[in-house]
Chains A and B, each alone.
Chain A
Amino acid sequence: MTHFNDIKGAATRREFLRRATALSTVGAAASTFGIQLAAMGNAAAQTATNYKAVVCLFMFGGNDANNMVLATDNDSWGRYFSARAQGNDPIALMPVGTPAVAVGSVSPLTGRTVLNRSFPEFWGGVLPLNNPLTPNPVPPTTSASVRTFGLNPHMTPLQAVWDGGRLAIAANVGPLVVPTTKAQYQARSVRLPSNLMSHNDQQSTWQAGAAEGARRGWGGLMADAFLSQNGTNSVFTAMSTAGNAVFLAGSNVVQYQLSTSQTTPAIRINSAAANTTTVFGAANGGSRVREIIRDLTGTSYFMQDYGARVIRSQDAADLLNAQFAAGSPGATVAAPAQLTNPISGNLETNQLAVQLQSVAKIIAANSVLGVKRQVFFVSIGGFDTHDVQNASQAPLMARLAHAMAYFDTALANLNGINMRPQVTTFTASDFSRTFTTNGDGTDHAWGSHQFVMGGDVRGQNVYGNFPSIGVNVTNGFQNPDMSGNVFVPTMSTDQYGGTIARWFGLSDTQIASIFPNIPNFTSRYYDFLNAAIV
């Protein structure tokens, strides 16, 4: 029997080759993996009774998760601190319980004078998380009775979500083909994902299981299974607030771009608002605008596909805006509060929270739209902190926590309904970053920690294997989980995504098709989500 991962790998490579060669090979497309799945998907379409939504929150650039989720036992912390309190602008955070030091004062801990707000001493210690409900095993290298964890000091809003049992941490997640040990990675003795540590390829791999050029993402493929359930408004099955994302590309599902406008969720083409719209002194100019922009008769493939998107834009805008007229469910989602930027000290609008507000509005209107299953994509950029990581990452951590907590709160009462159990939000990023610094920043790495949030999340727990903490020291500590400065993942993105897909309501067979590497792992799923009640 041919293994799915070989088919997908080969199909992806053929597609990759076509891109590299700039050839179009007629007919070869018929054998691509995604089209096989579409046939399967239709045959095995799921029946959904409840509404569910998945939100992918993508952090572009590769978030340094080593400074987002911290192991706070003394042993781990000591090694963390000595590794990162280096260079001209050290990125080591302060231990739990350290009071913030004012600008101009000297830190009793580090002895440095705090010159500005981007000094970790200014932020105070990492935020302690209440212990995981299920204790995590202590690695043999670590001298501690129990593993304890903390969050980046700018993530206060997430502590309550954790305590409420709606936030889980997935530890050391990354793309893998097969389970991979440090030794196997160093020897290159097992198949590895392509182009590790390359931004665009890893963004594509997290979203679509393969390097740049992949054509179908697992969000879109999940949505394919339920597309027929979404009725006449199935155009709103997969929605992004952050531009075209391969995550949402399905075999049949085509993503829809949601505007973050506060007035209307869809951008209307003004000159085509109605047939009778006057345009430059022509009554009924609107009908002529519609005619010309909806013309698909041109010979060019480019024309036809561009025109199709314009048509979709116009038709969907009419549909969506009608649903969101004043008084409709989506109109009642309050805008997020402004956020104080920890570095500038200024109030700012958190664009990530605004994106989640737009998503919340759509979720609020799900019964009006008649959709059962939706997949959303939101994003925040700026995580490629090669330089000045302290000043760069701090606002991003603040925005992430603020936005996620805002969304969690909004979901508690959407039109009087608690939608939290029906929405699962998960974070993703290109990769984590090197454990040591280059002086004031970090380079590209691999295994990373991510958040999963929702009412059906089995929260206040850390899932997977939180790695040993510390860098290899000659004739000293050797980290069994780290190669060079990079964590070798212990939870694959297939398992991470597969768990979410299972909650979404897909069968084991469907999940194995979307995540072809998942059969290579003894446990396909983790426990961070309640089992699906479809």
Chain B
Amino acid sequence: MPQGPPPTQVEAARLLAQATFGPTETSIAQVQQLGVSGWIDQQIATPRPAVTHQAHIEARLVELGDAQANQFYETWWRQALYGDDQLRQRMAFALSQIFVISLTDPVVDARGAGSYYDMLSRDALGNFRTLLDDVTLHPMMGRYLTFLGNRKEDTSRTPDENYAREVMQLMTIGLVELNADGTARLDSGGQPIPTYTSADIAGLAKVFTGISWYSPNPTNNTFGGGGADPNRSVTPMIYYPTFHSTSDKVFLGTTIPANATVDVAGDVRIALDRLFNHANTGPFISYRLIQQMVTSNPSPAYVGRVAAVFANNGQGVRGDLAAVAKAILTDPEARDSSVVTSASFGKLREPVIRVANWARAFGARSQTGNFLITSTSANTSLNQTPLTSPSVFNFWRPGFVPPGTTQLGQRNLVAPEFQVVDEVTAAGYINSIQDWVNNGVGSTPPNGTGRDVRPVDINGVFYPTEIALADNPQALVDRMNLLLFNGQMTATTSARLLAAINGVTASNPITDTQRLNRAKTAVFFSMISPEYMIQR
């Protein structure tokens, strides 16, 4: 790919809004130095943070005597805000909304959640086929979608169909046959064509039998949950041939014939190969990843270009997620700056990502180093917490068209993130962000004061860079424009922000407290502005 002129600051910020948890001065400079393609390549090569999620949670388990969901949230925020591998962080977050497990379900324990998210991170820029294997064998998915300990059929019982259904519907092929560009294939009568029937589900369900907890000495007892190995929730599940169905397994046009010799691994491999190689999987996953990162309503051509890279990364490899991520971000539809004024391009920034934007832009530090940010699931908070969606259907559906909306709804444009927008959450976000901009976010450190995560320098001074600019309100506005609005602030909004900053009572000479107020005003008014809320 020919290297054009280096990206401008604004172009860099736009890329980082799509590909990371938010631009920073440093990352903007990096993109400018390396170029879009070069930065992406560097990101793909950047290793994961040294302390894994699981390791953090286990350390906290020792320290606290217990580890719960909060300990997962700690390490999630630390990595999201400070992980150098930002592209991988963002991809893992996107994958956690497709391959959903949720801490709302008590079967998902903290260590298991950490291990599961580590797995997503490890595979996020790897191969999709590997990801399918690793998700299928992770005990937290086995528990969440209830196929851990699933038994073969007998006269009074049939195998649990939960995973068989959802792995098709939500994670690989979806409900209807797709063209390579993600549009629905139609039959001769103009109707969409279902990809599977209940018979396919029943057939596939038989494959996911005889899979259960790891044990160094597997027995029927360990299959059923007894004799628990202390690491079973963080170790891949193993096969128990005794409990695996040996009758014909027919699904998606594939038949695994009845077999006297039980080969659980072989059956699982055939099933996952079938899903991986299905024509739907490329466009299905590409569409969702584009929606997560760039825009809710990609053109079919855009989806098609990315799906083509899923099918073949250029070296004959199918399912290369790093290549897919690069294709998504380098595509003209993502990079063309003219879309910043397009009425239908873009997406509502996810609530959690807005807070991450703010924390990264303003260098938020943790007093304890543990990033003590707890659940933000209340509808008066963010109505979203990582790995904590209400169900396997995630916080929102890819095809959600907001009801009663005069612009999106009338045009049948999808806006998944609008599914959690209502009169309570809209007000709740504004109230919450006012509090956090003012005080920081998270719990109070033990034996400490204030919030754990605050936009401070090492001396505890809030918004130091912004305070230094506070005597020049326009400079404050410009900084907000770059870091939060990615350069897209309109003249109207700029004037309003300026007026708000100038509205802060200021003595002559201005005091530091007043400078801080100006800084907080700039940040708060930006974070609640409709222009900031939408990523274009």
Contacts and interface: CB of A to CB of B under 8 A. Distances in A.
Contacts of B186: 17
Interface string A237-273: 0001001101001100111111101000011111110
A20 interface: yes
B224 to A, nearest CB: 6
A207 B434 CA distance: 37
A83 interface: yes
Nearest to A84: B156
Interface stretch (A166-174, A415-423, A437-445): A437-445
Contact of B503 (A200, A282, A437): A282
A15 interface: yes
Contact of A313 (B165, B426, B533): B426
A301 to B, nearest CB: 4
Nearest to A203: B393
A270 B150 CA distance: 51
Interface residues of B, number: 104
Interface stretch (B15-23, B62-70, B513-521): B513-521
Contacts of A197: 165, 198
B478 to A, nearest CB: 17
Contacts of B421: 244, 306, 309
Contacts of B37: none
Nearest to B497: A292
The 4 closest A-B pairs by CB, nearest first: A254-B404, A249-B403, A257-B422, A281-B517
B403 A254 contact: yes
Interface in A353-397: 381, 384, 386-387
B159 to A, nearest CB: 6
B492 interface: yes
Contacts of B297: 22, 24
A60 B393 CA distance: 12
Interface string A312-325: 11101100000000
Given A271-B434, A285-B503, A288-B525, A25 B412 contact: yes
B380 A60 contact: no
B404 A249 contact: yes
Interface in A426-481: 434, 436-439, 441, 443-444
Interface in B173-228: 175-176, 178, 182-184, 186, 191-192, 194, 198, 224
B241 interface: no
B279 interface: no
A443 B160 contact: yes
Nearest to B198: A197
B380 A13 contact: no
Given A20-B184, A281-B517, A387-B146, A302 B347 contact: yes
A212 interface: yes
Interface string B131-143: 0000000000001
Nearest to B297: A22
B160 A269 contact: no
B414 interface: yes
A29 B426 CA distance: 28
B455 interface: no
Given A272-B430, A302-B533, 8 more contacts: A19-B399, A24-B344, A24-B412, A86-B156, A198-B165, A295-B493, A302-B346, A310-B426
A280 B517 contact: yes
A292 B525 contact: yes
Contact of A297 (B178, B415, B492): B492
5 contacts: A293-B529, A302-B347, A308-B406, A312-B423, A381-B391
Nearest to B178: A20
B465 interface: no
Nearest to A241: B424
